[in-house]
Amino acid sequence: MMRVLVFGRTGQVARALAQQASADITITCLGRDRADLTDAAACAAIIAGADADIVINAAAYTAVDRAEAEADLAHAVNAAAPAAMARACAARQIPFLHISTDYVFDGSGSTPWQVDDLTGPLGVYGQTKLVGEAGVRAAAGTHVILRTSWVFSANGGNFVKTMLRLGATRPEINVVADQHGGPTAADDIATALISIARAFHTGRGISGTYHFSGSPDVSWADFARAIFAHAGVDCTVQDIPTSAYPTPAARPANSRLDCSALARDYAITRPDWQASLTNVIRTLKEGSQ
């Protein structure tokens, strides 16, 4: 039996992880009522007393624009808390799996980012996630940092649900076409994390930083077109440049991630996001009936 402790309960990946429980895996998800990520010491104390074989941090401050005005809060959740968790796991020799983001890069160029490429976050969110990564590594325990991008699911707020909501009432919508990346279903991220956890549980895990995103890479505009096509929504997508849609925080133009290291070390390949999108839209339609 593998016992997995998850920080996070209502987020997209945390909800997907909860569904991964099986006859040989128990998964305990901690929400804010039990684990306050603004209190790093409390999070560490939970791990110190936990009956767990693996700890996964699926919680984060993800309000990219709001983070520009709430830097201290974003730092507490995205940097201080995971560092404390990693130290607590290292002290108990428990593997720690931590989710990070494409936002640690500056989005330059057009080639997929390698795991060891120079980072350069454009805003507070990416900066705090990068500091969190450093804290996890500094703990010097067994760990995996999994960077991912453009997360979507049938739960929570995400691009797919926003497009479906807007497309239902508008004949046409403008979507940014000069940002590219790999849409990634929360279910696929959860499956990858559990696969990594199993590897550690059986003594085959390899510590390090890895990339995981859906395939193929597309623009936000093309992703929107695919969403409408899969959902049967009659809404035209007009391509616009990022400059026509200003936001408080800058977004990376190139969020393509090279995922070859994960395939090499864990035999986990990039999932087809269109197949996952079909499942998400089906779930949303079933939920609305």
- Which residues are tagged catalytic? 125
* Alpha-carbon gap, residue 188 to 211, rounded angstroms: 13
**Could you tell me which of 127, 24, 124, 43 has the C-alpha nearest to residue 83?**
43
> Do the Cβ atoms of 179 and 237 come closer than 8 Å?
no
* 186-201 helix and 273-288 helix, angle to the nearest 10 degrees: 120
Tally Cβ neighbours within 10 Å of residue 28: 15
What is the distance in angstroms between the CA of the first residue and the CA of the last residue of the chain?
37
Tally Cβ neighbours within 10 Å of residue 27: 22
